Structure 1
Amino acid sequence: MALWQLYALSVALVSSFVASSSSSFYHTAVAPPQDLQISDPGLLGSLDIEWKPPPNVQAFNECTVKYKFEYRNTGDRDWKVIFTRKLKFRVGFDLSRTAEVKVQTLLEGRCTNDVEVQSDWIYATFQVPLQGKLESEVQNFHCIYHDWEYLKCTWQPSLLAPRGVRYGLYYWYEGLDHAAQCDDYIQDHGINIGCMLQNLSQAEYKDLSICVNGSVAATLLRPLYVTLRLHNLAKPSPPKQLVVSMSASEQLHVAWSPPGGETPPQCLEYEVQLAEDQGEAKATWASVSTQMETALTITRANQSRISCVRVRARTNIFCADQGFWSEWTQECFSVSRKEDKQLFILIPVILSLSSSFIICMLIGQCKKRSPAGKPLHASVGC
């Protein structure tokens, strides 16, 4: 047999094998899951999603059956994705918008020649009945997690809120059996406009679901639903014990202590600001940032006078996606150059010597003018 004939035969055999494998792959199919359902257990946005396996799952005992579960709120750009072998999940949604979920079956193993086979998607949505007009929802809802110790949330009554409205804040996070109500409200003229929540350490790095609703006779008010992450709302107190000194080589040394409270020291970053006066020019601020360190040595590039040094703190990127800066330390330290300090010491000495010389000269003049033999009184002539 000629060489080209052997080559043609081998190509035909390989093509036949590939076609046979492809045929077995394309003939392996899997059905989507069944009975996708969404239920609300009353946890302010955490919904239960469950489904049943596809009807023909028993036929694939040589393969692994998994599910690709995706969810989002209507209006979100991206889906959140979970790969699982479970048949039930509890995930958080914004109940002011429609919840959307979808699931498909994934099949892979010997029965598919180790190629992943995907079923069609099945879909479901959920929407709580929203009462009242959108304008009846509370306004300017805002929360800060102070010193990782307590959460302070505030809001303003809606534009459509009638007199006598009563607002309530409810919250839930994983670990609570049921939604709880705020027991420490902030009031303005008898109306609840805020809430203080203590002992939330178990809720850190979890979804904290909050609902603020209002009630008043004969009027429907729309509730506000939000989901928070405490570590992204943290605001520490200002750093403490700020100490500023200047070395002989014109290096500025700034040191401080971490703020109080329960803020983890390893979760803090700092910003140091210097106000520099350059002659008659207006003071300008220069900033220096540092991660976790509580001391800085700054080499001054000019001979300007440092009129103020201050420090503030914030949760760093290792512990949060974002956070609030603390207030600045209140002290302002005026740090002068070495020659300025020498001048500050010399000027009073020179003034003192000059004053003494002038007084002596005046006393001498008075003595010359005084008649002979008469005493000189301090009250006369001087």
Structure 2
Amino acid sequence: MMRSVNFQCISGILIYLLVNARWATASMITVDPPANVRVEDLGYLGVVDITWEPPVSLNNSQCTPRFELQHYDTYEQRWKSVRTKQQKYRAAFNFGKEIVIKLRTYLKGACTDDKELWSKWILINDSMPMQGDPETSVKDFHCIYYKFETLKCEWKTGKLSNSNYELQYWQDGMPGKKTCDHYLRATGINTGCVFEKEKLQLFSSLFICVTGMPGMNPIRQSYFSFQLQNIGKPGAPEDVNISKTQNGELKLDWRPPIGKIPSHCLEYEIQYKEKTDTWMTITEWRETTYSFNISMPLHELCVHIRAKTNRYCADDGYWSDWSTESCWEEVSPIPEINIKWVYCTGIAAAVLLGIFVIAVLYVVIKKRHWSEKLQHKAKTLVY
């Protein structure tokens, strides 16, 4: 009995010491940050490759290191984060603003007794070289994708001297950046670009840089990025029609606008009014029919509709123009008693007219007959 108790005590002490020794060993491990971090500009107007190497201290480690990378997206104005085993990551930045990147090593496995360990952050603050006076950059830059077929970008000019603007763009799948083929101009200065022939992709970022023409005075570059579905403007709904059902409801129906946007990606805003009243609005309607269940009797109603890409297909977008206004007016029916009276009067008049015609013919025939008879009597008396 004593030997058994002593054995259990000694075994417990050994296990305790072993566990604490492993914990102490794991807690003493330090993780170094990644080494040789590089940021490479790919020439795609804001797209860069970030590369790094594992810390030298982990070359003989039993754990596979992972890395956590964070960068500040100046277009969306928020931090983005990713954990990866790779040593390369592609990200997009606005080169007109500061580039901020943070990177650290993440370790977990047999070498850490399955505990999570992180290195310190490596912070990279960088900026691309800019040329030209800041006052020369474009102002109020905006783009609209009309009917999801034609992209049109416009801007206001800055202070220029012997300079003109050039628009460059790039989207994933293009071999390199391109320049605008069709500019909008005012007094000889480029104030916009229409992408007529280029086939652009939805749900893929388009990168744009407005800079100066080669050989002219430098212009401060302006960088922009957006996805086309978020700047789309559908056409106006078509064939708007109002009709009254047998139940006394007013039914409104229309056709989706013409364009590449699928009908299930559209929502509608309906406005209706009596001709003397203000507009009433119905928002976020996804069908192409609507029934007005109005308790008060209406004698006339006018409606127009506009469309927009819904939140299931885009983060944002523009409302279309309003459709042509369509109006419905109650027509006062002719009472049935009046219709019957008209029918009866018409039939009676026709009968009376027939009797009158017959009577006239009868009188004429009789008059001839008596005239001939009197003439015959007169001749007889003379003889």
Same fold (TM over 0.5): yes
Equivalence map 1:207-218=2 (5 Å): 207-215=205-213
CA offset digits 1:35-62 (Å, max 9, x no partner): 111121221111121111111233223x
* 1:134 equivalent in structure 2: 134
CA distance in 2, matches of 1:195, 1:124: 35
Equivalence map 1:67-106=2 (5 Å): 67-72=67-72, 78-106=78-106
Question: Higher mean Cα deviation, 32-41 or 209-218?
Answer: 209-218
CA distance in 2, matches of 1:201, 1:291: 31
* 2:322 equivalent in structure 1: 328
Amino acid across the alignment from 2:294: R
CA distance in 2, matches of 1:90, 1:176: 16
* 1:113 equivalent in structure 2: 113
Paired residue for 2:305, among 307, 311, 317? 311
Question: Higher mean Cα deviation, 22-31 or 320-329?
Answer: 22-31
Alignment CA distance shift 1:290-1:124 (3 Å): closer
Q: Which runs of 5+ in 2 are unaligned?
A: 2-8, 343-383
CA distance in 1, matches of 2:267, 2:76: 32
CA distance in 2, matches of 1:69, 1:150: 37
* 1:298 equivalent in structure 2: 292
Amino acid across the alignment from 1:134: P
Partner of 2:192, secondary structure, is strand
8 Å contact from structure 1 (residues 69, 82) kept in 2: yes
* 2:29 equivalent in structure 1: 28
CA distance in 2, matches of 1:250, 1:256: 20
User: Is 1:155 the counterpart of 2:155 in the alignment?
Assistant: yes
Alignment length (residue pairs): 331
Amino acid across the alignment from 2:228: L
Alignment CA distance shift 1:212-1:51 (3 Å): same
Alignment CA distance shift 1:140-1:255 (3 Å): same
TM-score, scaled relative to structure 2 = 0.78
Amino acid across the alignment from 1:132: G
CA distance in 2, matches of 1:188, 1:77: 33
Alignment CA distance shift 1:75-1:249 (3 Å): closer
CA offset digits 1:97-118 (Å, max 9, x no partner): 0111121111112222222211
Amino acid across the alignment from 2:52: W
Structure 1 position 243, deviation (Å): 1.6
Structure 1 position 24, deviation (Å): 2.8
Partner of 1:245, secondary structure, is strand
8 Å contact from structure 1 (residues 146, 234) kept in 2: yes
Partner of 1:43, secondary structure, is coil
8 Å contact from structure 2 (residues 102, 123) kept in 1: yes
Q: Which runs of 5+ in 1 are unaligned?
A: 2-8, 354-382
Alignment CA distance shift 1:76-1:317 (3 Å): closer
* 1:37 equivalent in structure 2: 38
Partner of 2:129, secondary structure, is coil
Paired residue for 2:265, among 258, 261, 267? 267
CA distance in 1, matches of 2:75, 2:203: 25
CA distance in 2, matches of 1:199, 1:143: 16
8 Å contact from structure 1 (residues 165, 216) kept in 2: no
- CA-based RMSD: 2.9
Structure 1 position 215, deviation (Å): 4.2
Amino acid across the alignment from 1:39: E
Q: Give the fraction of aligned pairs with identical amino acids, expressed as a percent.
A: 33
CA offset digits 1:125-183 (Å, max 9, x no partner): 3212122232211112110011111210011211x123x53211100111112110011
Partner of 2:317, secondary structure, is coil
CA distance in 2, matches of 1:200, 1:94: 23
User: Is 1:173 the counterpart of 2:171 in the alignment?
Assistant: yes
8 Å contact from structure 1 (residues 92, 207) kept in 2: no
CA distance in 2, matches of 1:156, 1:135: 12
Amino acid across the alignment from 2:110: R
8 Å contact from structure 1 (residues 250, 300) kept in 2: no
* 1:220 equivalent in structure 2: 218
8 Å contact from structure 1 (residues 275, 309) kept in 2: yes
CA distance in 2, matches of 1:228, 1:78: 15
Partner of 1:256, secondary structure, is strand
CA distance in 1, matches of 2:55, 2:197: 45
TM-score, scaled relative to structure 1 = 0.78
CA offset digits 1:218-258 (Å, max 9, x no partner): 74321211111111101100111112112243312111111
Higher Cα Rg, which structure: 2
* 1:184 equivalent in structure 2: 182
Alignment CA distance shift 1:292-1:27 (3 Å): same
8 Å contact from structure 2 (residues 182, 196) kept in 1: no
Structure 1 position 332, deviation (Å): 2.5
Amino acid across the alignment from 1:336: E
Alignment CA distance shift 1:25-1:303 (3 Å): farther
Partner of 1:56, secondary structure, is helix
